Amino acid sequence: MIRLRTRPVPPPVPVPGDVLAGTEGLQVRLGGRTVLHGVDVTVRAGEVLALVGPNGAGKSTLLGTLAADLPAAEGVVRIHGRPVSDWSAPELALRRAVLPQSAALSFPFTVEEVVRMGRAPWAAVGGEGADSDDTAVGEAMARAEVTAFAARPFSALSGGERARVALARVLAQRAPLLLLDEPTAALDLKHQELVLRLCRERARAGDAVVVVLHDLGLAAAYAHRVAILHAGRIAADGPPAEVFSDRLLTDVYDQPVEVLPHPRTGAVLVTPRRDV
């Protein structure tokens, strides 16, 4: 008996506050070591959630688990209200877009071709014609400021340019859940701000954004919530102004930290305490 493959159904447009992803009692083991211990986190539409913490705290592991790219040893991971195991790969691709830490391609694809890869999940849906694909790709390249070198080979780009092209691919996918792993690491000051503004833009449009950041200043300025990870656990979860404190950040990073109000706006500033 031949079973016909059903087309994946796109998710409904989320309403701000909808829970688009989350974990309960999550434990993850990698290489025989427990990396995450009993982690509970909720990802809501209309919010930018920043995952922060020192190296090895479990930020990227948590992001990979939310993306259904890493298995949970214990606990539950849900996307759009269902355990990740209940979704097929095509269904997941319509619901979450993932930006890994680094992007490497073995073939000489152009920038536009790489960005257009973000539209692949829609090919199986039907009703998404070339015009809408072209619009999504064009808008994504413009927002990431990569239109000027659309015809250049991806392999000929600088590290920062590659990072922006990879982000444009994620934007073109138009999934309501964006999972970004250190998207600012290779970028200059201007483009770091650009990426976080794009995160806020997507949240204002009703999407949910989870972003791994090392820059606590960016997290304080742009995230609606921050989850501070320490040794595989959530040390604090809430608005930056509420959870960023000298004492907590000093303990988590094992480095003296100062949390100060901006002299003009009063916004939270985070800086290492220095004696030089």
* Predicted confidence (pLDDT) per residue in 67-95, tens digit: 999 999 999 999 999 999 999 999 999 99
Say how far apart CA 81 and CA 232 lie, in whole Å: 24
- The pLDDT score that the predictor gives to residue 5 is 58
**Where do the structural domains in the chain lie, given as residue ranges?**
19-102+110-272
When pLDDT is cut at 50, 70 and 90, the band that residue 127 belongs to is: low
Say how far apart CA 197 and CA 53 lie, in whole Å: 21
When pLDDT is cut at 50, 70 and 90, the band that residue 2 belongs to is: very low
Q: What is the pTM of this model?
A: 0.94
**Tokens standing for residue 5:** 């493959």
Say how far residue 51 (Cα) sits from the centre of its chain: 9
**Tokens standing for residue 192:** 């770091």
* Predicted confidence (pLDDT) per residue in 179-231, tens digit: 999 999 999 999 999 999 999 999 999 999 999 999 999 999 999 999 999 99
Whether 23 contacts 76, CB under 8 Å: yes
Exposure string for 191-207, b = 16+ CB within 10 A, e = fewer: bbebbbebbbebbeebb
pLDDT, average across residues 117-131? 78
CATH number of 19-102+110-272: 3.40.50.300
Q: How many CB atoms lie within 10 A of CB 230?
A: 19
pLDDT, average across residues 100-128? 86
- The pLDDT score that the predictor gives to residue 1 is 45
Residue 128 reports pLDDT greater than 60: no
Residue 4 reports pLDDT greater than 50: no
Residue 130 reports pLDDT greater than 60: no
Residue 59 reports pLDDT greater than 80: yes
Whether 40 contacts 234, CB under 8 Å: yes
**Contacting residues for 182 by C-beta, under 8 A, at least 6 apart:** 60, 101, 212, 213, 214
- The pLDDT score that the predictor gives to residue 108 is 87
